[in-house]
Every structure is written in C-alpha cells, then in structure tokens.
Amino acid sequence: MRHIILVLLAFLFMMKAGSAQDISVRGVVMEEKLDGSLVPIEFANVYWLKSTRNTTTDSTGYFFIARGADDGDKLIFQFLGFEPDTVEVASGKYLSVLFKEEANLLGEVTVVHRKRTTEISFLDALQVENISSQELFKAACCNLSESFETNATVDVSFTDAVTGAKEIQMLGLSGKYTLISQEQMPGARGIAIPFGLLYTPGAWIESIQVSKGAGSVVQGYESMTGQINVELKKPFDEDKLLINGYFSESYRSELNVFTRTDVSPMFSTALLAHYSLYPTEHDRNDDGFMDMPKGSLLTLANRWDYHNNKNGVEGQLNVQYVQDRKEGGQVSHGGDTHDLYRTPINIDRVQAFGKLGYVFPNKRYNSIGSQWGFTRHVQNAEIGHTLYDASQTSLYGNWLYQSIIGDSRHKYVTGLSFRYEDYKEQLISTHYDFKEIVPGAFFEYTYLPNDFITVVGGVRLDHHNLYGWLFNPRLHLRYAASESLVFRISGGSGMRTPLPIAENLAWLASSRDWTIGEPGQTQNNFPYNGLEMEKAWNFGASITKEFTIDYRSGLLAVDFFHTRFTNRAIADLDISPQQLWIYNLDGQSSASTFQAEAQYEILKRVDLKVAYKWQDAQIAYRGAGMREQIFTPRSRFFVNIAYVSSVATYKGHWRLSVTAHNTGSQRIPDTDTNPVAFQLAESSPDYWLFNGQLTRVFNKSFEVYAGVENIGNYKQSPVIIDADNPHGDYFDAGLIWGPIFGREWYVGFRYMLK
C-alpha cells in the first residue's frame, strides 16, 4: 500500500505517469484437467517477484493483489503439485491463468489479459476513474468533448445552436466548476471554456482521470466538483507511429498523427498533429440556420522528455499551437452573406508547459519538483452584429517538496504556487480588463497506518490581488473493509473568479440585453461591476465493491455528492426572454447528485456497464425564490454493451460497442411573455439516444471502424426561436436541451506502428 501512495504523490513531481496509474491486478487461477474440464484452484499463492507482496486465491480461484511502483511487472503463481512459474503483467490487469495437468507438473500457462477499459481506483483516497484509450476507441472520440459518450459521470452538450460551443456537466453543475487539466497542468479554463474541449484531439489521449468532489490542494483552489485530467501520448509510448483518419456523412473529416523518436538514451521527443475540416453548410431542420458551424481546426504539438535514472532527474517540455476558424449562422445557399446573420469566430492559442523533478538518491521518500506553464489565447468573434473580442495571457508555477515524518506511515507534500492572469475583453463597446496575481502555499499530509485506512488532509492559503486572502481546507478518508470493498468520504471548499461573458457566450446568440453585476458599482474593485468570487463547499461519500459471479468479475460503485455555494454568479434568464441578468447570489444555491454504476462481464468477452444518476440543483433567483437550475436533467440512465471477439491474438478480430442514454426532463427558462408562437414549454421531454460502433482489427497495426451516432435521429424542435427574424425582439438560439444535428454515420481507420 505504501508504495502505491508513494507513486501517486511522486506523479506530482514529474515521475512517470504510467506507474501511478497501475492500480491493482485481479484474475482467476484454474486447472485444466486431462478431460478438458476446468477446476478452480483454491489457496494458490500469488506474489510479486520483486517485493514479495502476496495474496491467495479463494474458493472460486479468484485473486486480487495491489500493484506498487516497487513491485515490478512479474507475478509468481505457486501451488502444491505444480512448479512455480512467473507471468509478466505488462498490458493488462485482469488475468485468467490456466494450469494444465501434466504429470503433476506445470506444463503450460495461458495468460489472457482482460483489463477493464474504465477502472475505479481501490487504493486512492480520492474516488478516481481511469478511462483508458481502449475505452475511447468504443466511440468516435474526435476530441475531448466527445470522450465521455461511454461514461456516466461526465455529461456533454451544446450551449447554443450557432457557435458550436460545448460544455460539460459534472455533479449537476457546469464544467466551469470542474478543474480541467492536461497532465496536471491548467487546461481549458478562462475565456477558453466555450471551445477549449475541442482543442485536445481524441487520438492524442493516452488516458483520462476523472475524480469527484474536492480535489487535492496541490492542484489549486479552483476545483469545486472534481477534476478531469488528460494524459497525452508520451515520447516513450509503445506506439512509434499512430495515424488516425475520420470521415462523416456531414463531410466532417479529420486526420491525426503521432510519431515519436528516441534522440538518445535519456532524451525522447514526439510530434503530434491534428487537422479537421467541416467545409459545408448543413440545415437538416430547414430553419434557415446551419446545424453546425463550418470551418477548420489545426492543432500542433511537440514534446520532449528527459529521464536519467542515475542522477534521479526527470523533466518534460510541451509546446502546443491551436488555430481555430469557424462560422455559423444562416445558410447562404452559395449566395452573398452580407445581410445574413453569421457568427465568425477566430481563435489562436499557444500553450507551453514544463516539468522538472529530482529524487534524492539516498532518500527514497524525498523529492522536489517544479511545474510551470504559459498560455496566450486570442479570440475575435462576431455573433450576429454583437462584437466580442477577448484575450488571455496566463503564467503558472508550482514548486513542490515531498518527504516523510519519521517513517513511511506519515507522508507530506508541501510547496508554493503562483498564478498570473491578464484578461482583456470587449463586448460591443464596453471593455472589461483586469489582472489576477495570486501567490499561494499549500501543505498536504497523508496518514497510512495500515493497508486499510488512508487519511489525506490538506490546506492551502492564497492571496488574490482583487479578492484578498483565500483559505481552502480539504479532507479525504478511505477505509478498505476488505481487498474488494472500499468506503470513502470527502469534504472541502473551492473558489473561482467568474468570467460572465465567456461562460455565457451562448446568450449572445439571442436578442437579450445584458446586465452584468450591479450597474454603476465597483465594490472593492471587483471586476464586472462588483461580481464577487464564487465559493462553494463540496461533501461526498462513496462505496466501491468488486465481486465475482461465475468466474467473471464485476464492479459496483455508488456515490452521493452535495455542493453548496456561499457565493455564486447567477445567470438569470427568467426575468424576461429579452434580458439576461448576471448578479451575485442572494440566498441559497446547491446541487446534489446520486449515482450508481455496475460493470460486469455478462458473457465471455461481453462487458455490460449500467449507470443511473439522479440530480437536484436549486438556485435562489432574485425576486423568484428557489427554483430548479435550468438545463440540468433530473435523471440520466446509461447502458453500454461492448464485445470483443478475441483478446489473445492480433490475427484479426472484431470489436462492437452499443450505448444508450436516457436524458431526463430539464427546466427551460421562462418564455411566457413572448407571443404564443415563440413560447416554449416549462420543461423539456425526456429522450433516448443510441450510438453504435463496429471495429475490424486486421492485425496489430491496422484497424477500420464504422459507426452511427443518434441512431434514432432524435432532434430538438424548435432549435431556434423566431429563426426567420434573427434581428428581432424574440430571436433566441441559446435554449438548447437536446440534439441539434440528428443521425450521423461515420467511418475511420487507425494505423499503429509499434
């Protein structure tokens, strides 16, 4: 246990991420008799070659063993009457070990790797889901926003019908309350929130870690509902070359390339490239507006990794450039676009981050590390006749030190951080410019009295140049009643600076007049006419249980989280369909979420994942009292069935994945004062979406896939209010609760060179 936690902490100091993600190994051990029958082996000894950490199989032959950084990758299987043998665990975490009876000696061992494509940690104090690249292969994962189609925790939807912006929801709240990071560095945040999810190509992603609740204080004070961390492919990845192509019936095409090179025994580099093109205007619902903006997206990245085991130094450097050009709005039918309602949006983004870490050679628990980053994001947009230009310059630094107090039962990580943000926004003729300068310090203590209890407590203190002192405590408790049953509770606070224009970009695509903050007031020099910093407390509890039925393993995870705001920037659309008011919370606001998820191999190589989520989000709106938060489904039901025809050979096999989503009813903002023709119902209907994908794997280097999204062709109607008069008083393209485009077929391929 102590080695696993050490690896998780060492990840913050730029140790290899792969080691930190090895959570556990499980499987079954059986004997094949001469007549071909299979008999479970009970009390077989299973242990790691390097560390001798061990366990034994139960009456069904099942075993579960933790894996740590010092355990290595070789498991020993030992049972009376057979010769002990070593099995290398390199690419899977679920093993079916078959001993063949032959003169009371071990004759042959057949190892079949059956790793869950989504793992839930049993050892981390935080509830962490690890989504592997194999899980992403189940759907058309063209970018990060499309990486959660087979995940029940994170919901993704369009914000409006003209700009193509997307947002996630987690624990019943907008994604702006979730810390989105790229390799534990700041990711899509600030003015990049509407489109930032599009800038991480799915083919670049190695894995995604999703944690619920208040996160680690090491990552900052902004995490309020959880964290989504994206791990990109590394220069030391096993793939030397990856080429991924995609084409859909809407003529959307994409090409992704990843290639790596070992420059020296200590230096490796990788080049990553992405280009996507959406060249045509599609208007399937005949409302005169494009269902999706046309345009192009170019993303390039170059990363370098340095690792020297002799002197204990490791480092990384990554530089990424994004050029995004898109235009939505009314269709032109090939004619003049001068008088049409159009939404040209041009974005250029440069991001660089680096990491450097050092492990003291004679003190295995002592290490230091640094993280730093730079981002320059420039956006020029015109939504109809509304001008919105914005830029953001960010600097980030994190310096960490890790050690123990007395012995390895008491560990800590402490350090300093610094954040600088320079925002410049222009909405029509009004400028909103301000800077954030935030130095901070943090301390996180981990107590590991035994393999069953983990206590992680952390505090951080930051000083904001506009909002003053910020204090954030967080606590995580883990109790393992057994190797297959874990209880967790957590609590902590989070804070963030509201960016009301970027975070409500969808409402620029409407006739609404905006009122931000308290007109004429600048309280304590707060930006946006006195909007205060958003602050919330999050509390949660979860149970994770692993089980075995008929020699096949399953997983059950149940959790409940509650987020309560002490201050919040409220976007109020209920005052009038022609107005948007953004003001400080005056009353209560909270969100509660219950989720239950089960995974089980129902048949050989057929995996079933089922999840149900209930949500209740309430806000005290000014003059209206407590009301349900808009566009938040009261419930979600999710089913995914995945089949793999073979996992033991690359000579050719099939993969099939089918997913069904049920989205519950959502409250729609009031439109009662509109003319009857432009009024909407108070709530949306619940609806089902079905997706499917079939993949043919020809060999270990080449595979082809084809699929369809929204098989039932379900679409919201109407999508836009008063679409015939986009410059009138009732036009609104932001009231989106369901799919816009409808059914879409696609095909693609992957070429991998090991």
Distance CA 702, CA 243 (A): 10
Q: Is residue 86 part of a domain?
A: yes
Q: Is residue 8 part of a domain?
A: no
Comparing 52 with 377, which gets the higher pLDDT?
377
Give 58-74 pLDDT, tens digit per residue.
767 778 787 776 777 78
Q: Is residue 6 part of a domain?
A: no
Residue 708 and residue 575 share a domain: yes
Residue 179 and residue 69 share a domain: no
Instruction: Identify residue 513 by its one-letter amino acid code.
Output: D
Residue 470 and residue 442 share a domain: yes
b/e 536-559 (16+ beta carbons within 10 angstroms → b): bbbbbbbbbbbebeebbbbbbbeb
Q: Which long-range contacts (CB under 8 A, 24 or more apart) does 33-40 make?
A: 33/101, 34/101, 38/98, 40/551
Residue 271 and residue 154 share a domain: yes
For Cα atoms 711, 713, 715, give the angle at the middle one, nearest 5 degrees. 140
For Cα atoms 521, 526, 531, give the angle at the middle one, nearest 5 degrees. 75
Q: Which of 326-335, 387-396, 616-625 has the highest mean pLDDT?
A: 387-396
Distance CA 293, CA 195 (A): 13
- This prediction's pTM: 0.84
Give the mean model confidence (pLDDT) for residues 227-236. 90
Which neighbouring-strand residues pair with 688? 662
Structure confidence at residue 104 (pLDDT): 46
Give the mean model confidence (pLDDT) for residues 695-712. 93
Asked if 397 and 356 count as a contact pair (C-beta separation under 8 A), the reply is no
Asked if 156 and 178 count as a contact pair (C-beta separation under 8 A), the reply is no
Write the CATH number for 75: 2.60.40.1120
Comparing CA positions, the residue from 737, 635, 744, 645 lying closest to residue 690 is 744
Reduced to 3 states (helix: H, G, I; strand: E, B; else coil), residue 421 is strand
Asked if 149 and 642 count as a contact pair (C-beta separation under 8 A), the reply is no
Q: Is residue 221 part of a domain?
A: yes
DSSP code at position 221: S
Number of helices (H), then strands (E), in the chain: 4, 44
Q: Is 169 exposed, middle or buried (0-12, 13-18, 19+ CB in 10 A)?
A: buried
Q: Is residue 19 part of a domain?
A: no
Residue 370 and residue 478 share a domain: yes
State the pairing for strand pair 342-359/313-329: antiparallel
Backbone angles phi, psi at 683, to 5 degrees: -140, 150
Residue 646 and residue 625 share a domain: yes
At 696, list the tokens. Answer: 């043919």
Residue 136 and residue 86 share a domain: no
Residue 192 and residue 72 share a domain: no
Residue 363 and residue 482 share a domain: yes
Instruction: Identify residue 156 by its one-letter amino acid code.
Output: V
Q: Is residue 17 part of a domain?
A: no
335, pLDDT greater than 80: no
Round the average pLDDT of the chain to a whole number and report it.
Answer: 87
At 42, list the tokens. Answer: 């009970």
Residue 103 and residue 207 share a domain: no
Q: Is residue 493 part of a domain?
A: yes
Residue 509: which domain range?
Answer: 121-753
Residue 90: pLDDT band (50, 70, 90) is low
Distance CA 52, CA 33 (A): 29
**Is the four-CA dihedral 101, 102, 107, 108 of positive or negative sign?**
negative
Backbone angles phi, psi at 704, to 5 degrees: -125, 140
Reduced to 3 states (helix: H, G, I; strand: E, B; else coil), residue 166 is strand
619, pLDDT greater than 70: yes
Distance CA 197, CA 1 (A): 35
Domain end (from 80, 113, 146) = 113
Residue 78 and residue 146 share a domain: no
Q: Is residue 12 part of a domain?
A: no
143, pLDDT greater than 60: yes
Residue 554 and residue 408 share a domain: yes
Tally of structural domains, the chain: 2
Domain end (from 75, 97, 113) = 113
Structure confidence at residue 520 (pLDDT): 58
Residue 2: pLDDT band (50, 70, 90) is very low
Write the CATH number for 360: 2.40.170.20
Distance CA 727, CA 732 (A): 10
Comparing CA positions, the residue from 717, 721, 712 lying closest to residue 744 is 712
Domain end (from 60, 80, 113) = 113
**Tokens 């209907």, residue located:** 685
Residue 56: pLDDT band (50, 70, 90) is confident
Instruction: Identify residue 172 by its one-letter amino acid code.
Output: G
Examine residue 718 and say whether the peptide bond preceding it is cis (omega within 30 degrees of 0).
yes
Instruction: Identify residue 652 by its one-letter amino acid code.
Output: G
